Chains A and B, each alone.
Chain A
Amino acid sequence: MYRYDEFDQRLVDQRVAQFRDQVARRLSGELTEDEFKPLRLMNGLYLQLHAYMLRVAIPYGTLSSRQLHQLAHIARRYDRGFAHFTTRQNIQYNWPRLEDTPDILAELASVEMHAIQTSGNCIRNTTADQYAGVAADEVEDPRIHAEVIRQWSTLHPEFSFLPRKFKIAVTGAQHDRAAIRVHDIGLVIRRDANANVGFEVVVGGGLGRTPMVGKTIREFLPKQYLLSYLEAILRVYNQLGRRDNKYKARVKILVHETGVEEFTEMVETEWRHIRDGAIDLPAEEVARIRAYFAAPDYQTLSAAPPEYTAKLAADPTFADWVRTNIAAHKVPGYAIVNISLKPIGGIPGDATADQMDAIADLAALYSDREIRVTHEQNLVLPYVRQTDLYLLWQELRRQGLATANLNLISDIIACPGLDYCALANARSIPVAQQISERFADLKRQHDIGELRLKISGCINACGHHHVGNIGILGVDRRGEEYYQITLGGTPDEQAAIGTIVGPAFASDQVVDAVETIVDTYVGQRQDGELFIDTYRRIGNAPFKESLYGNH
C-alpha cells in the first residue's frame, strides 16, 4: 500500500500544527464558535447532539495493521473504547474532547493518516472498490488513481470552498462495489478498442433529498488526463454550481438544470484549455505511486486444497460463513474475506478497540498486514490463503466477528441517526437492531438470499436508503418517529433509485412491514430469483397490496 514520503508527512504534520494553533485560539476565546466552525470542519470535527465528533479519512478504504492498531488506541485513549465505520470509508469517533483533538490528529499523522477534508464544501475522501487489486474482474487497481486524486485534492487552493461537498469514487471492476453512480464523480477504469486504459467519467450522481443516478459525460478518458479532466469539471462546478440554496448546490443539480449535453460541452471546452498544461502528473510520478500497490508475494497454490474442502464438508457453520463472506480471489488458493460488522442486534459499522486490535493482528498473520473498509460498513482481509480460512474463522468467532450475513438482510447500512446526529429526524440504529433481531435466524436469512436493506435517519440519506433494495427513511411527523419505505433501489452498475411503496409506518410497525415485504417476495419469487429481480419483474403493486391492502 501507499507510504508517505517526506513531503506527504510534512504536509500532515504542518496541518496538525495549524489546527493546534486554531484550537488554542478557540479555547482562549480569541475565536468565537462561529469563526472556529469552518476551521474545525476542514479537519473533520463536527459538533453533534451530545459531543464533538471526529471523522478520520481512510483513503480508498485501505488500512495497514499498524494504522488499525492506532485507530484502536485512539478509541481507547480519547473515546469510549469503540468507533464507527461510515459509508464513505471513513471512521468516526463520537466522544472526543475538543482540547484532545490536536493530539488525536498528531497520533494519526504518526501513522500516515489525517482528517483533512472529511467535512466541509470541498473534495472529500476519495473512495474505491474494497476488492481493489484482488478482484478477478478488474482492469486495473483503482487505488493507484485514488491516491493520485487524494494528493491532487488535498488542500486544493481553488476547490476548498465549493458550492457544496464533492465526492469521488473509483472502481476498476466490471461489478461496481463502490456505488460510483451515486457519487458527484464516478470513475470506471475501462479499456478502449485498442486496449488502452482510461476512465469512463460519470458525473452528477448523488443521494440526499434529490437522489439521482450519475450521467456518463465521457465514455473514455485516456488515463494520463485524469487530473486535468477532474480540474475542468470542478472549475465549471465551482463557478456555476448554485450557491443560493444548499439543497440545490450539489453538482447533480447543475447537470440536471443545465442539461447533460451542455454541461459536457462546458467541461470539454474548459478541458481543451488546460489539458496539455502542467496539471497532469508526469508518467514517472504515476509509476512511483503505482509501485506502492504492487501485489504481495503470492505463493503458487492449488485452488480448493483438500484440507480446506475437508473442513467445509465437516463444519456446516464454517461452510455457511464461507458461502456468504468469502469472495473469489484472482489468485488460485487465495480468498477475499469479508468481516461483518453487523452482528445480530448490533450497531452497524461499530467496532470496539479490542476488535480492531484483533483484526489488525489477524491481518498481520493472514493478510499481508492489510485491511480494507467497505462503503457497506464492513471490513475485508484481501489476501488470505484458503488453507488459513478455518483458523481465521475460529479467531473471528472468538471476537464476535464471524457473522455469516454478508449481503443478507441483517447486513444493514445505517447512519448514526438521532442517537448521535444533529441533523437526524429519527433514530436509525434501534430500527436496524430490531430488524436484525427479527431475522436473527441465519437459515432464514440464507433462504431469503441477497437483500440490501439501508436505513437513513433523515433526508440527507447518509444511510443510502435510496439505493437499498429495501430502503427505510426516518421522518418526523409531529414529534413522532415515522419510517417511509422505498423498494427497488440498487447501488451497483445498474444503479436505480427506489420507489416509495406507500404511507410511512410508525416505529412500532416498521419491522412488521419489512417482514411483510420479505414474505411477499418469498411467496412471489421464481427459480431462486433475488429480491431485486422479483421486484423488477412484479413491481410495487403486490408489496403495496400486502402492506396496505386491508386498510
Chain B
Amino acid sequence: MAIIKHSQVVEDPWTTVTAVDDPLPSNDQPVIVSLARWQADRAALIARRSPLGLRLSSAESPAVVADDLAYFELFALEFPAFTDGRAYSHARLLRERYGYSGEIRAVGHVLRDQLIFMRRCGFDAFEVPRSGDAAAALAQFQAALSEIDVWYQTAPDAQTPVFARRQHMSEAFLNGTAG
C-alpha cells in the first residue's frame, strides 16, 4: 500500500498493531493501535515517548476517546467496504466537534472515486493500493480530486460552499468590485 498525504506519496513511518497481545515496536517507533489495545494498555501506551495513532473500525465512534485526543497524532478510520460510509461522519466529528487537527487517514477499501468525499470530510491521508509508480498514483489522485469543484455544503475542508460564493458575488456586485 502507498500513503498519499498532502498530495504527495510519502513513506509511512507508522507500524500498526491491532491485536491486544501482539508485541509493540521499540519505544522510538510510531505505532497505530486498535481501540481494544488502547483500552487494555492505556498507561503503557502513554508512557511510550513515540507518536501514537489510533485505528477505529467503522463501528467505533471517536466519541469514545473524545477526552483522550491529545494522546493521538493520527487517526486511521476504516472503510471495510467503500459502501460503508460511517467513517465520513467520524472524520467530521473529529474535525468539527472535537477540534482534532492531527492526521486522519482513510484505510481499507479506499477507492479513487470516493477520495473527493473523504477529503471534504476531513481526511488528509489516504492508504491506496500501490499500482504502478508513485507518479502515476499521484496523477490519478489529483485527477480524482479535481473532477468537482462546486459544493453546496459546509464541511471541514477549505472549500467555500456555493451559498457563500453567491453571497460574496452579490456583495461584490453591490460594492462595484465585481470582476
The residues of A with any CB-CB pair to B shorter than 8 Å are 5, 7-8, 10-11, 14-15, 17-18, 21-22, 38-39, 121, 151-152, 154-162, 235, 238-239, 243, 273, 277-279, 281-282, 284-285, 288
- CB within 8 A of B148: which of A15, A39, A235? A15
Contact sample, A vs B, 5 pairs, CB 8 Å cutoff: A11-B148, A121-B83, A156-B153, A157-B117, A273-B97
A7-B82 contact in complex given A17-B147, A38-B113, A158-B89, C-beta closer than 8 Å: no
CA distance A121 to B85 in the complex (A): 10
Cβ of A280 to closest chain B Cβ, rounded Å = 9
Q: Is the CB of A238 within 8 A of B163?
A: no
Q: Is the CB of B153 within 8 A of A14?
A: no
Q: Is the CB of B162 within 8 A of A161?
A: no
A157-B120 contact in complex given A14-B149, A17-B147, A239-B89, C-beta closer than 8 Å: yes
Q: Is the CB of B166 within 8 A of A18?
A: no
A14-B150, A156-B152, A158-B89 known, 13 other contacts, Cβ within 8 Å = A8-B162, A11-B148, A11-B150, A15-B148, A39-B113, A121-B83, A154-B152, A155-B151, A157-B155, A161-B114, A235-B89, A238-B85, A281-B163
For B, the interface residue count at a CB cutoff of 8 angstroms equals 35
Cβ of B26 to closest chain A Cβ, rounded Å = 37
Q: Is the CB of A285 within 8 A of B152?
A: no
CA distance A238 to B153 in the complex (A): 17
Cβ of B81 to closest chain A Cβ, rounded Å = 9
Q: Is the CB of A160 within 8 A of B117?
A: yes
Q: Is the CB of A285 within 8 A of B166?
A: yes
- CB within 8 A of B167: which of A161, A238, A282? A282
Interface residues of B in 45-94 (CB under 8 A from A): 61, 82-86, 88-90, 92
CA distance A306 to B150 in the complex (A): 54
Cβ of A246 to closest chain B Cβ, rounded Å = 10
Q: Is the CB of A158 within 8 A of B150?
A: no
Q: B88: which A residues are within 8 A, CB to CB?
A: 157-161, 238
Q: B170: which A residues are within 8 A, CB to CB?
A: 284
Cβ of B132 to closest chain A Cβ, rounded Å = 12
Q: Which 5 A-B pairs have CB atoms at the shortest separation, nearest pair first?
A: A161-B85, A157-B120, A11-B150, A157-B117, A285-B163
Q: A39: which B residues are within 8 A, CB to CB?
A: 113
Q: B151: which A residues are within 8 A, CB to CB?
A: 155, 157
B165 at interface by CB-CB < 8 Å: yes
The residues of B with any CB-CB pair to A shorter than 8 Å are 61, 82-86, 88-90, 92, 96-97, 113-114, 116-118, 120-121, 147-155, 161-163, 165-167, 170
Q: Is the CB of B86 within 8 A of A238?
A: yes
- CB within 8 A of B150: which of A7, A157, A238, A285? A7
CA distance A277 to B166 in the complex (A): 19
CA distance A238 to B152 in the complex (A): 19
Q: A11: which B residues are within 8 A, CB to CB?
A: 148, 150
Cβ of A91 to closest chain B Cβ, rounded Å = 23
CA distance A161 to B108 in the complex (A): 15
Q: Is the CB of A243 within 8 A of B152?
A: no
CA distance A38 to B84 in the complex (A): 13
Q: Is the CB of A151 within 8 A of B162?
A: yes
Q: Is the CB of B147 within 8 A of A18?
A: yes
Q: B84: which A residues are within 8 A, CB to CB?
A: 161, 243
Q: Can you name the residue of chain B whose Cβ is closest to the Cβ of A285?
A: B163
A155-B152 contact in complex given A161-B83, A243-B84, C-beta closer than 8 Å: yes
Q: A284: which B residues are within 8 A, CB to CB?
A: 167, 170
A14-B147 contact in complex given A281-B163, A282-B163, A284-B167, C-beta closer than 8 Å: yes
Among B82, B118, B121, B150, max chain A CB count under 10 A is at: B150
CA distance A285 to B162 in the complex (A): 10
Q: Can you name the residue of chain A whose Cβ is closest to the Cβ of B58?
A: A243
